[in-house]
A and B are shown apart, each in its own frame.
Chain A
Amino acid sequence: MLDTIGRLIETDVLVVGAGAGGLWAALSAKRHLPDGRVTLLDAHMVGRTGHTAFSNAWMVVVTPEDDLDACVRDIVEGNEWIAEQELIHDVLSVSHFQLLEMEKMGLVFPKEDGQFIRRPTRGLKITKVLKPDGGGLEYCWRLRKALEAEGVDLLERVFVTDLARDDGGRVTGAFGVDGRTGAFVIVRAGATVLATNSVTFRAGFVRDLTGTGTHLAYDAGAVLTNAEFGYLRPGTPKFYFEGITFAIQDGARFVNAQGEPFMEHYEPDWADRADVQALSKAMVQEKKEGRTPLYLDMSLIPEEERGQYLQSSVAWMDYFFRKLGDRARIDMFGRTEYYPLFQMTKLGIKTDAACRSSVPGLLAAGLAQASCASHFAGFHIGACNGTGWIAGKSAADDARRFGGPRVSEGQARSVKAEVSAEWSGGDEKSDDDLLRALQSLIFPYEVSILKHETRMRRALEELDAIAERGARSRAAHVHGFVRLRETRCMVETARLMLEASLLRRESRMSHLREDYPDRDDKTWLKWILIEKEADRPHLWTEPIETPLVPPPSP
């Protein structure tokens, strides 16, 4: 009698999270299981919210004229081998098909002389990116319309708190609450795809990203990886700006306190066109040499090129930039102080090339899936598109094969009681206070960007106190409850990040160890894997498979 405990929804495939990965996973599941029920669940509104909707939707697409193997090599080498080679191959293989599907949905990808207009992207040598008119908002809306037309059920404003599991440990759906009313929701599903993006600490532009699905998987016994890697990028606290790549192509330069363009020194080949994490690492070195503050000098962009920065085809950026000068009296075409920011973790769910996790019935797509340690500017959505399609197909296969999922009434009652207890009589600001404490611990560059064993051990000790405080906290209402759960997820992520960073005794991409400054391919072409064991993270390493792109020569 599950329907007496909460609102019961039956489905063959449940997809959690309606960004690029989830939208494509739902579409793929429906295409591969046309007679089955597919449900796409989101904490807010499908097609209008989530980080994909707020992006430009630049995406990697490999067309038939491109050299697929060379593009795979490009991304694997760009990732310094921390990459699932077969999965990346399969993601790129399906990208052109998906592009044509998106055109059928009515998305317009600008062309010149019949060819898609594509641009290079930082950090990749040959792989090109393109974006639709209207950016991520239009992309998400067109995909929503396609899902509605094909009969996918949308379940909105539901926040998932736990995964349902049968006696054998198989994931059989999810439990959640209505984000407005707090009503309890039970979804019984043959297969469940988590597509809930990366975990952030609510830095800058990505304050809407909390990546709670990764921790639902961790709690259910799934193996995670890439906790030691992050997405570092230069940012300014003054305003959001997502156009650094193209600003630099148009003449902008990073300069230090002496006015020197410092990137030539650190990246002679790429200079300011280097990948964002190379820029961030150089900024840290400048800080250590005492040459801060650092600036992005946008005054070097010619007048005739500036209009494109003020009239974005992405709706929110268009509003934002129009108001920036008038309302905030900020001239973006001047020298603006910039910092290296730890924007998001690369922690994700380890899967096979079919996007299946280590737990039966549980799959992962989008950035909740750990395909690689760096996605550059256009492979974020590129990877989400492809892993979504692959995960949706696998979920359809699993749902067809296993069917008849069982959700225990005992687990449903227990989760409901635990959840309800967490938003009664709590403090109005408990989640905000906890978040501020966590941000103050993690954001300093000597913790999350330039790492050292001594400092990380000290941070772990301080984190214990924050975690204890989080465990004791109670919310005053359902809004606070959701925020509190999200913040606890961030606290646990910080622990995994620090533990994995201590274990990897080398420097590679965004993982920069002051006490182990060199890359060590002999020892560290490995995944650091994490599993929950007796409520604590258990970490171990396994070699990275290199079936398509051989390891670098010694």
Chain B
Amino acid sequence: MIVDIDLEKCTSCGDCDPVCPADIIHMEEQGGRLVPVLKHVEHCVTCFNCEIFCPVQCIDVHPIVRRRPLPW
């Protein structure tokens, strides 16, 4: 699950927003500039797309996935 975006390193390019298949990264204006804001983060599918396509490596995705009910 996505756990951190370093807004000091973020260049506001917005590349992370459209590549999210769960629609949880929204570019929004804060303090006079566009920054990525996380919404409904519990729906993250841990696909790493945001981290992969961030040109300045300011996004961190943790590899552990949320558990679902097991068959037994």
Interface residues of A (CB under 8 A from B): 44-45, 48-50, 54, 137, 156-157, 179-180, 202-204, 207-208, 237, 239-240, 287, 292, 315-316, 319-320, 323-324, 327-328, 330, 339-342, 432, 436, 439-440, 443-445, 448-449, 479, 482-483
Q: Closest approach, in angstroms, between the C-beta of B64 and any C-beta of chain A?
A: 5
How far, in angstroms, from A315 to B46 measured CA to CA in the complex? 12
Chain B residue contacts of A207, Cβ below 8 A: 45
Within 8 A of A (CB), among B3-39: 18-23, 26, 39
B69 touches A48 (CB 8 A): no
State whether A316 and B52 are in contact (beta carbons under 8 Å apart), knowing that A204-B65, A342-B71, A439-B68 are contacts in the complex.
Answer: yes
30 pairs, CB–CB < 8 Å, chain A vs chain B: A44-B20, A44-B23, A45-B18, A45-B21, A48-B19, A49-B47, A180-B23, A203-B68, A204-B68, A207-B45, A239-B63, A239-B64, A240-B46, A287-B72, A319-B48, A319-B51, A319-B61, A319-B63, A320-B48, A320-B63, A323-B63, A324-B63, A339-B70, A440-B69, A443-B70, A445-B72, A449-B71, A479-B23, A479-B40, A483-B43
Q: How many of chain B's residues have a CB under 8 angstroms from any CB in A?
A: 30
Which residues in B have their C-beta under 8 angstroms from that of A323?
61-63
Find out whether the CB atom of A315 lies under 8 angstroms from the CB atom of B48: yes
Report chain A residues within 8 Å CB of B23: 44, 179-180, 479, 482
**Are A208 and B69 closer than 8 Å at their CB atoms?**
no
Which residues of B line the A interface, CB within 8 A?
A: 18-23, 26, 39-40, 42-43, 45-49, 51-53, 61-65, 67-72
Q: Is there contact, CB below 8 Å, between A208 and B68?
A: no
Most buried by B among A49, A327, A443, A444: A49
> Which residues in A have their C-beta under 8 angstroms from that of B20?
44, 49
Min CB gap B13→A, angstroms: 15
Which residues of chain B come closer than 8 Å to A339, judged between CB atoms?
70-72
A48 B72 Cβ-Cβ under 8 A? no
Provided the pairs A45-B19, A328-B62, A328-B64 are in contact, do residues A208 and B45 lie with their beta carbons within 8 angstroms? Answer: yes
Interface pair B71/A445, CB less than 8 Å apart: yes
Complex Cα spacing A180 to B67, Å: 27
Q: With A44-B21, A179-B23, A203-B68 given, is the CB distance from A316 to B62 under 8 Å? A: no
A319 to B47, CA, bound (A): 9
